[in-house]
Amino acid sequence: MKHPKLSSITHALCAAGCLSGATLAMAQATDPNQGSGGIAEVIITAQKVAQPASKTPLALSVMSGEDLKNAGTNDPRALAETLPNVEIAQESGMLQVSIRGVTSLDMTEKGDPSAAFHVDGAYIPRYEAQAAAFFDLDRIEVLRGPQGTLYGRNATAGAINLITNKPTSKLEGKVGVELGNYSTRRVDAMLNVPIGDNWAMRAAVNTNKHDTYYNAGPNTIELESQDDKSARLHLLGNFGKDTSLLLTAEKNRIGGGASSPVPITNFFTGELVGTLPFSPAGTGNHIKDPVYVDLGKDVQRTAAWAFKQDAGSHRDNEATSLRGEFKTRLGAVDLTYQLARMRLKLDQLNNGVYFGFPFTTLNRGDSDAVSHELRLNSTGTGPLRWVAGVYTFDEDIFREAAYTTYVTAPFGQFNIVLPFRATLNNKSTAAFGQATYALRDDTRLTLGVRRTRDRKSGDDPLSGEAAVAPATRSSKAYTEDVRFNNTSWKIGLDHDLRSNVMVYGSISTGYKAGGFNAERDTGVYRPETLKAYEAGIKGRFFGNMLQVSGNVFHYAYEDQQLTTTTCRTNDPASCHSFTANAANSEVDGAELEGKVKVLEDGMLRASLAFTDAKFKNYHPTATIDFSGQKLDRAPTSTISLGYTHHFTLGNGGEITATAGTRHSTSYYISDPVEGIRYRQPSYWKSDASVGYANPDGRWNVQLFVKNIEDTVKIESRVPGSFFLNDPRTYGVRAAYNF
């Protein structure tokens, strides 16, 4: 009998061999040095050192600042539209990143993401801070697969790296404005100023504002909208060829109307279940055996269940970051020290109808995280290249939350309040190293290892139940202090078939820290781990006019952390969210990305991904069996196509036209404890833009439309409700450069 894991690996290696053979034949028929003006090579820092993307032996996608501009990508959720096997959603104003079916749904102060999110190398731990707008970026690097060696904890899914534009020695600036439907108003500005011979400053600001995308229904209070303001200041000092100091201050204020989900009955019919006594008629926590019914976009985007009309809903969160990076050369070794402090102040009152009741969710508090990373890396030209370092992370969190509902009963109306007042601390320390040795001129072996120690502690005297005087703690109060250790590793081999064609294979592991739940009797959950087998190929052909990368992979996913919300009794006060370790899962897939330059003025981009992500043996309860079923947010296939063309006019001006589309097969969003799965049908989503730049490049104007089909898709779920994607938006952008 075939071993399933060996069978998957064999298939992956066979597929990689077929790709290699076809690519080698193409390379042998092509002179890699012919032609000029091909696709520019992108230098990335995904492996903590600068290297060409086409020579980096791992699955990654890179979007340059020009790519982001042409596509109109100005927030993280829009980023996923061009990436294979990446889904990015929002829930209650927080970011949910899913890569190859691996995601985290614990959005509380105790939860950690599964994809590590970084800005200029600084880890952003809180979901709310990750939702800030994109502005003044050089590029974005998205790494797919576990990054346990160089990125460490909470990178089982992968990593997203935002690289900002740094100060230069040129005096320059930019002002841009965008106006669109839903009263959209966006403004961005940048000023770069050299200061003497050694210093330069770069300041950038951004504002984003739009009205709600939802129909109010019976509600008179403000629904979800956006009113964000961001600013960043870089100060860069260069002291000789090899020594520099970069100081950064950044603030993101995330505001507007609070999160407002829509009811599950906007999309599905069936028997409402999970309704508690005295719940308003026609509401519920779930739909038993849900059947998708297209009721039309107006219905789907209507907040049809009445929220608490006196809620005073709002969102006024503030993320402040102070960062420093010092680089110098010590003989044949480069030294890099990075210090980052990230503070998040949270103040939001969300709307919702959970468990059949109109709930408001008040979240206030702050988190303060400080990280240090010291790295050394080789600089020589010999056969050995290496990077090694140490890392520490320390985060303090205080979170005050209250879930409030009113209940109309035969004996009158009364409020139910579930209060929380949590104080937590997360500590992590790690030592890591990765070395690549050239066995031959065309063959390299990579070995990496990281040792991590994590400690999580916390206390909540309320935990969803008010303390009764003279007591100071509720019966649900918890005090926890848990510790976890992990050793992640990587073994990789890459080989040059030609100077411009590389094949690679690797086995790597990733780790996400364990934790504890918000009530005393719901226990501690273990870390989740992931072992990935991957083989791939990367090549540039026809004088660099064509660039292709492809890979196949197999995941062994163990102790997967799943978060769900349920009610243990008919009392709303018994409703709570908890995380537990599910049974093991397996994920198999293949990805293909490419771009080809069309003549001298066009660029065609394409990506294709196949994924088979399933639970191996998972019984959420004694009566429910999810074994063999697909993981959530893991469509079987996605395909994206995009084309950009530049038209040079007689006066020297330029028209740039861009169009892109993405198709996704269906995927599930579910509650395993209830055994209910909501199926989002397959969909198309397309964008287009056309712009004009004057001959000297001083100013430009662009017309755009996003989500041409006005597709409505379910992005995430809370009990009884869904959060949705953005509707069709359109408008005009204009910018002046000086």
- When comparing pLDDT for 324 and 47, which is higher? 324
Instruction: Indicate the helix (H) or strand (E) that contains 127.
Output: helix 127-130
Q: Which pLDDT tens digit goes with each residue over 608-635? A: 999 999 999 888 888 888 999 999 999 9
Dihedral Cα 728, 92, 87, 706, nearest 10 deg: 10
Residue 671's nearest CA partner among 563, 544, 539 is: 563
Q: Which pLDDT tens digit goes with each residue over 353-390? A: 776 778 788 889 999 999 999 999 999 888 999 999 99
Tokens of 467: 């303390």
Lowest mean pLDDT among 56-70, 113-127, 198-212, 556-570: 556-570
Residue found under tokens 């797919």: 144
Provide the pairing of β-strand 683-693 with 412-440.
Answer: unpaired
Residues 6+ apart with CB under 8 A from 288: 270, 271, 272, 273, 676
Q: Which pLDDT tens digit goes with each residue over 556-603? A: 999 988 887 766 665 655 667 778 888 789 999 999 999 999 988 999
Q: Which pLDDT tens digit goes with each residue over 526-548? A: 999 999 999 999 999 998 999 99
Tokens of 66: 């020009």
* Alpha carbons 62 and 79: distance in angstroms, whole number: 11
Q: Label residue 139 by pLDDT band (50, 70, 90).
A: very high
Q: Label residue 352 by pLDDT band (50, 70, 90).
A: confident
Q: What is the pLDDT of residue 89?
A: 87
Q: What is the pLDDT of residue 137?
A: 93
Residues 6+ apart with CB under 8 A from 188: 135, 136, 174, 175, 176, 204, 205, 206, 207
Class of domain 4-737: mainly beta
Q: What is the pLDDT of residue 282?
A: 75
- When comparing pLDDT for 599 and 640, which is higher? 640
Q: What is the pLDDT of residue 258?
A: 86
List the domain boundaries for the chain. Answer: 4-737
Q: Which pLDDT tens digit goes with each residue over 469-515? A: 667 888 888 899 999 999 999 999 999 999 999 999 999 999 999 99
Q: What is the pTM of this model?
A: 0.89
Q: Is the pLDDT of residue 456 over 70?
A: yes
Q: How many CB atoms lie within 10 A of CB 171?
A: 11
* Alpha carbons 426 and 370: distance in angstroms, whole number: 11
Q: What is the mean pLDDT of residues 106-131?
A: 88
Q: Is the pLDDT of residue 23 over 50?
A: no
Q: Label residue 24 by pLDDT band (50, 70, 90).
A: very low
Distance from chain centroid for Cα 318: 19
